[in-house]
Amino acid sequence: MTVKEYNKCVDQHADAVYRFILKNLHDSERSRDVVQEAFTRMWEKAGDIDGSKAKSYLFTAAYHIMIDTIRKESRQTGMEEVHESRHFTTRHYSDLKRVLDEGLNRLPEIQRSVIMLRDYEGYSYDEIGEICGLNESQVKVYIYRGRIALKKYIGSMENVV
């Protein structure tokens, strides 16, 4: 990977990786740190990375850095707060996109990640598995469960005015 390819990768993927991480961490400062660290790792390995695999490398690195961050923090804060937010209630919304967005926020981290990689980035099960360290079947199951949870969050279409 050349300097130019690396810089192009920054232009093309920094926003997407940032959105992906921010959606999981809900903290712009920490998300910036994760993205920066991911790009630093990519730069350090630039000589070994094929330009066509750069995006995948970047998401994988960012995902693992994010998981490490979450683990470190959960050790410090306990899991109570994390679980507390995962409740589903019947609500009324005027905007399906916003409902889904809120539902997505309430999914367990792994379901949220696989669904975002699927929907936002269009990755295949196989690619998502590589990024998240899962096999294809696990990815499928997490995506299905995530969809079912989103569906339950919405309730019925009558709730979306």
Q: What is the DSSP letter of 56?
A: H
Q: Which two tokens stand for residue 4?
A: 């130019």
CA 112 – CA 147 distance, rounded (Å): 10
Look at the block and give the residue holding tokens 């995530």.
146
The CB-of-16 to other proteins minimum distance in angstroms stands at 7
Of 60 and 149, the one with the shorter C-beta distance to other proteins is 149
x/- track of binding to other proteins for residues 4-43 (CB under 8 A): x-xx--xx--xxxxxx--x-----x---x--xx--x---x
- Judged by CB under 8 A, does residue 147 bind other proteins? yes
- Judged by CB under 8 A, does residue 104 bind other proteins? yes
Among 75, 76, 157, 161, binds other proteins (CB under 8 A): 157
Among 50, 72, 120, 133, binds other proteins (CB under 8 A): 120
Look at the block and give the residue holding tokens 């903290």.
27
The CB-of-72 to other proteins minimum distance in angstroms stands at 20
- Judged by CB under 8 A, does residue 106 bind other proteins? no
Among 48, 75, 97, 161, binds other proteins (CB under 8 A): 97
- Judged by CB under 8 A, does residue 2 bind other proteins? yes
Provide the 3-class DSSP secondary structure of residue 133. Answer: coil
- Judged by CB under 8 A, does residue 70 bind other proteins? no
Establish how many alpha carbons lie within 13 A of residue 12's alpha carbon, considering only the half-sphere containing its beta carbon. Answer: 14
Q: What is the DSSP letter of 156?
A: -
User: Residues, the chain, total?
Assistant: 161
Q: What is the DSSP letter of 2?
A: -
* Cα–Cα separations (whole angstroms), residue 76 to 24, 69, 109, 136: 18, 11, 18, 32
CA 39 – CA 68 distance, rounded (Å): 16
Q: Which residues form the interface with other proteins (CB under 8 A)?
A: 2-4, 6-7, 10-11, 14-19, 22, 28, 32, 35-36, 39, 43, 79-80, 83-84, 86-90, 96-97, 100-101, 104, 115-116, 118-120, 140, 143-145, 147-148, 150-151, 154, 156-157
